[in-house]
Structure 1
């Protein structure tokens, strides 16, 4: 049996959903599964773009053979050598002995490391700008090093204006029969998982992502075809804008992330009080218990928000282990330009504050707003006013970061739902087009 979907007349999705993996890459939990995308081009020549993970190999094989409809496979393009996209490569070489493989020079080296030397005679090394003609289609290869491995390629189909993006523009979550992002409410149901995917897998490589975005800006792109998650055929500017923000380490939202590590609840109590005082002042707050929530979710939120609060008890003269793990992960992903508040707790020698400072100190553009707030065992009654003052200072800083713009009387703001561009005027013309992403007037929402 098979489960394929047409991308367009010549391209077919032949990938598979994986729902039985407890952890992706051994570290990221995927409670809603994950898709392993593979695409087949049927032209005068047939081209398979990447294979699949071993966990879904049977479904992948059935889908591929069905989509080929008895034809042989002429080419395989390997965009990325991670085994979740190449596990079936050896099987394809055995099944289609004439198949030719196109990849980068570094991918060729990795192929030998994974599979031994038997592939060498059929490998064609390509570099930036090289092309492959398959009949009606011309494929142009684009180097995308460190997004997120050094050997990564992307492919631009000059005929159909498709960009096959390797691990960029992906998302956690099974497709569940849908293929295109416009078939779901992406902003409501998948944006958090797209952010978690980006921040944890690609987030360290912001400058490299910026380089790829500059290359993409020079292309006329009709669709984005990633190796995980949905194909984008509409509102591409929405996702490209998110990637631009994330890769420049700009927060999506002015608000406060509070992550706390508490043993007996006293540190948690202080964090809760701070959250209450911030919420009373109209500040958006999201809280996480580092002992309960996996680090990947908190890292994602740290990319999302402008201000971060870390509250941790002292443990073995250092930082409590789950907070220490989180902060090391944030540092490893090179998150930049955040304003931070630290709370420490310790019954006889509070030391977690200095430990947290040491981990975060090397990060570019980080600023600790106040001296570390210290609790000894439990928050004292006379410290509540200090916490109140801290909340006021933090709230003022959050709200000052995005001051309300004055506008002439009678004018309104119309915000593009695709890319965030703001049009100001008495009314939005019916034929108006967004100057950034080209979205029509129907994609604008009046704010005031």
Structure 2
């Protein structure tokens, strides 16, 4: 049975939710699933905006058939060729062989890599600023390379002032009925997942996101229609500001994330004592994580959120405790920058973890060390509390 919603009088959401998928890209936990969005425009000509993941093929095709209401499909516009949005292209081509595929040169290169059907005369190749007239709706194509694949483009409907924005402005999390951000409790249900989605999926490409934001600033946008997560038709400026901050690698708020790795509890004790000191000094924007039991994607999300990071880890095989090494690698790979950091190290006979962590962090752009690192041997001792107190005060001062 079909499951669609009207976006406007003649634009229909034809996507679906997947609550069974455990890991997005087989990497990132999805405790509340994920949505795959696609949109059908009913005009003199019909146009489908992207397809969906193979996991919801049946639901998606039933939705498209219902939205077409017996009409033929004239265009399939392919804004993004990642398989969670392009997997059903082959089936669309089989069911509606007369439909033209609209994309850019890199789109069709990737179609040839993923699929074996002949393209022949099916392709309409577009570039920046090209338009497609559906009758009432006039679509303009805007290239958005590396947000977050090289072929990505966005489609602007000048008639209804809608930006079909591909993977930009997306969010983890399945839908709970409504597909609109203003009809759900976005702050409590989706905001953290929007940040985690951006930081881990798009985070590396801040300069490319900035380029897209500059293009978008020239448009009159009444609605954002992403490929994942709720559709925005109110408070759009709020979400655009988040993307502006994230893509400039500026923290959303002055606060502290403490991420520790601990084998036997001694390093975690040191981190908890520091958290206690910070709280007593009035720091309330404060999160503490055990990195051995917290997926790195959540740590990356809060690293994008907060101004200050405290990393604590023991020495391991003359290097850094492995989960911490993974976190540091991901921070660098996702281009995190412009943060203040403090370090806590441990080691029973060759304590070098703080120095090793500093090597990673100091190589990242715009990173500033706060306070003197505290390197303990085996466990925190009472005589070391003044050093920890001084570090806590240095962090508090930096938050001012």
Could you tell me how far 1:368 is from its partner in structure 2?
1.3
- 2: CA distance between counterparts of 1:100 and 1:287? 52
* Higher RCO structure (Cα 8 Å, ≥6 apart): 2
Alignment of 1:190-339 (within 5 A): 190-283=190-283, 284-339=285-340
- 2: CA distance between counterparts of 1:221 and 1:391? 45
Could you tell me how far 1:329 is from its partner in structure 2?
0.4
- Equivalent position of 1:113 in the other structure: 113
- 1: CA distance between counterparts of 2:260 and 2:384? 18
Could you tell me how far 1:145 is from its partner in structure 2?
0.7
Could you tell me how far 1:386 is from its partner in structure 2?
1.1
Could you tell me how far 1:117 is from its partner in structure 2?
5.6
- Equivalent position of 2:133 in the other structure: 133
Could you tell me how far 1:190 is from its partner in structure 2?
1.3
Could you tell me how far 1:253 is from its partner in structure 2?
0.7
Write the deviation string for residues 336-362 of structure 1: whole angstroms up to 9, x where unpaired.
100100111000001212221222222
- 2: CA distance between counterparts of 1:390 and 1:370? 5
SS in 2 for 1:306: strand
CA contact (8 A) 2:371 2:395 kept: no
Gaps of 5+ in 2: none
- The question of 1:51 aligning with 2:40 is answered no
CA contact (8 A) 2:372 2:391 kept: no
Pairwise CA RMSD: 0.9
SS in 2 for 1:119: coil
SS in 1 for 2:397: helix
**Alpha carbons of structure 1 residues 120 and 258: separation in structure 2 relative to 1, 3 Å:** farther
SS in 2 for 1:187: helix
Write the deviation string for residues 292-347 of structure 1: whole angstroms up to 9, x where unpaired.
11000000000000010000011111111111111100110011100100111000
- 2: CA distance between counterparts of 1:120 and 1:197? 37
- 2: CA distance between counterparts of 1:356 and 1:100? 53
SS in 1 for 2:119: helix
- Equivalent position of 1:181 in the other structure: 181
SS in 2 for 1:35: strand
Could you tell me how far 1:120 is from its partner in structure 2?
4.2
SS in 1 for 2:118: helix
- 1: CA distance between counterparts of 2:188 and 2:84? 27
- 1: CA distance between counterparts of 2:151 and 2:120? 17
Structure-2-length-normalised TM-score: 0.98
Structure-1-length-normalised TM-score: 0.88
CA contact (8 A) 2:370 2:398 kept: no
SS in 2 for 1:204: helix
| Alignment coverage as a number of residue pairs | 399
Write the deviation string for residues 257-278 of structure 1: whole angstroms up to 9, x where unpaired.
0000000000000000000000
- 2: CA distance between counterparts of 1:351 and 1:89? 53
CA contact (8 A) 2:53 2:84 kept: yes
SS in 2 for 1:200: helix
Write the deviation string for residues 5-56 of structure 1: whole angstroms up to 9, x where unpaired.
0000110000000100010101011110100000000001110000000011
- 2: CA distance between counterparts of 1:286 and 1:253? 12
- 1: CA distance between counterparts of 2:55 and 2:169? 22
Between stretches 364-373 and 115-124, larger displacement belongs to 115-124
**Alpha carbons of structure 1 residues 48 and 22: separation in structure 2 relative to 1, 3 Å:** same
Alignment of 1:76-87 (within 5 A): 76-87=76-87
Gaps of 5+ in 1: 401-448
